[in-house]
Structure 1
Amino acid sequence: MPLPTIIVPGYLETAIAYRQLEQSLVQLGIPTITVPLKRRDWLPTIGGRPVTPIVQQIDRTVKQMLQQHNSPQVNLIGHSAGGWISRIYLGEQPYAARGQVISSCWKAYPLVANLITLGTPHISQERWTRWNLDFVTNNYPGAFYKDVRYVCVAGKTIFGARKPGCWLAYSSYQLTCGQGNTWGDGITPIAAAHLEGAENIVIAGVRHSPRSPGIWYGSPEPLQAWMQYLL
């Protein structure tokens, strides 16, 4: 029986956007739920402020699934920012934000078998997100917990360039990894979406968000490339 699986939404995203992915996994026999985030839940985190309210909701959802399925562990699927926020949740260090020490420390790594990140920017040059990402990188570099399998999925879809149709990708890649002329999913460059020591995957043709036109990481065909880690 596959472990229960929890989808962690990307920044400012709601659970509704992941309903199709959730249903696809359930149809494959994988009990799945999305952290029940609403747009207003993200408001306290805007401007690089602590993501503590999101991590607390992840924790409640994990505990719910462990109890409901009488399981010792879960899988986490973190889309975009949901991936690095999940890495905070796994960790043992008190989460401090902009010099303010917060006593919250979830130490959830024994509860997680697999962490799959989809288009997650694991690094950033952008000043509003850099503090949080530096906290993760400095405390939990790479595939940090050896008993957790990290699977990092990147998209090779749009090459960033200073020309029509590629400007958004160029700007986003530049803010993320410091280089605009590179490949990515239109928002996250491949260079930022992978972690040292993880099982790193590149899928051609996928766009960043479930709200993007065309296919994204959770669409039926790309799903075939990474769902094996949940079975």
Structure 2
Amino acid sequence: MPLPTVIVPGYLESAIAYLRLETSLTQLGFPTVTVPLRRRDWLPTVGGRPVTPILQKLDLTVKQILQQYQSQQVNLIGHSAGGWISRIYLGEKPYTPRNQTHPSVWNAHPFVASLITLGTPHISQEHWTRWNLDFVTNNYPGAFYQNVRYVCVAGKTIFGARRPGSWLAYSSYKLTCGQGNTWGDGITPIASAHLEGAENPIIEGVRHSPRSPGIWYGSPEALKIWVKYLL
């Protein structure tokens, strides 16, 4: 039987946005739940503050699904920021952001078989993400844990340029990887979505968010490309 799977929403996103993906995976035989986040749950993390509240909810969800299915491991699917948050969750180094006196350690990598990230900015030059992403990069570079299968899915959909229709992508790419004239999913450039040592597939035509028009990473057309990594 396939391992149970936990979806980690992207920044400022609620679990509701992933309901169709959750249903699709369950129908394919992968029992799936989404970390039950509401948009307001992200408010304490705004401005680069600690993502501890999200990690706590992730940890509770993983423990519940392990118990429910009497399983030793789960698969994690992290969309956007949910991907690098999942990498913090895997680790054993004390997570002690600014103004936080009690360090937190989850050390969850023994319980995670695979981590699939969808459009995750694993590197960024944005001010609000720098502390957290530097923490991940410095402590857990690349596909850090050999016992975890890392799959980092990128989208090749919009080429950033200083022209109508491509300006948002250009600005987002430049903030993320320092270069605007490159390919990505409209928000995350390919250069930021991949990790050294991971399996790094590229899907053409997918947009970043479940709320984007057209196809996104969780749409059936894209899902059939990356779902094989859950087997």
8 A contact 1:94–1:102 mirrored in 2: no
8 A contact 1:48–1:132 mirrored in 2: yes
Partner of 1:83: 83
Partner of 1:184: 184
Q: 3-state DSSP class of the match of 2:172?
A: helix
Partner of 2:61: 61
Partner of 2:6: 6
Q: Relative to structure 1, is the Cα distance of residues 44 and 3 closer, same or farther in structure 2, using a 3 angstrom cutoff?
A: same
Are residues 1:27 and 2:33 paired? no
Partner of 2:104: 104
**Take 1:156 and 1:75, find their aligned partners in 2: how far apart are those partners?**
25
Q: 3-state DSSP class of the match of 2:114?
A: strand
**Take 1:102 and 1:210, find their aligned partners in 2: how far apart are those partners?**
35
Q: 3-state DSSP class of the match of 1:200?
A: coil
Encode CA deviations 1:69-116: one digit per residue, 9 max, x unaligned.
000000000000000000000000000213645421000000000000
**Take 1:99 and 1:93, find their aligned partners in 2: how far apart are those partners?**
17
Of stretches 161-170 and 221-230 in structure 1, the one that deviates more from structure 2 is 221-230
Shift in Å, 1:230 = 1.2
Question: Where do 1:155-194 residues align within 5 Å?
Answer: 155-194=155-194
Give the residue type in structure 2 aligned to 1:142.
G
**Take 1:96 and 1:136, find their aligned partners in 2: how far apart are those partners?**
12
The two structures, once aligned, show a CA RMSD in angstroms of 0.8
Give the residue type in structure 1 aligned to 2:91.
G
Partner of 1:123: 123
Encode CA deviations 1:183-212: one digit per residue, 9 max, x unaligned.
000000000000000000100000000000
Q: 3-state DSSP class of the match of 2:203?
A: strand
Encode CA deviations 1:154-187: one digit per residue, 9 max, x unaligned.
0000000000000000000000000000000000
Q: 3-state DSSP class of the match of 2:61?
A: helix
8 A contact 1:78–1:117 mirrored in 2: yes
8 A contact 1:174–1:180 mirrored in 2: yes
Shift in Å, 1:225 = 1.0
**Take 1:91 and 1:106, find their aligned partners in 2: how far apart are those partners?**
6
Give the residue type in structure 1 aligned to 2:36.
P
TM-score under structure 1 length normalisation: 0.99
**Take 1:131 and 1:179, find their aligned partners in 2: how far apart are those partners?**
20
**Take 1:93 and 1:78, find their aligned partners in 2: how far apart are those partners?**
20
Partner of 1:70: 70
Q: Which runs of 5+ in 1 are unaligned?
A: none
**Take 1:36 and 1:100, find their aligned partners in 2: how far apart are those partners?**
24
Q: Which runs of 5+ in 2 are unaligned?
A: none
Shift in Å, 1:13 = 0.1
Are residues 1:212 and 2:204 paired? no
Q: 3-state DSSP class of the match of 2:201?
A: strand
TM-score under structure 2 length normalisation: 0.99
Give the residue type in structure 2 aligned to 1:123.
I
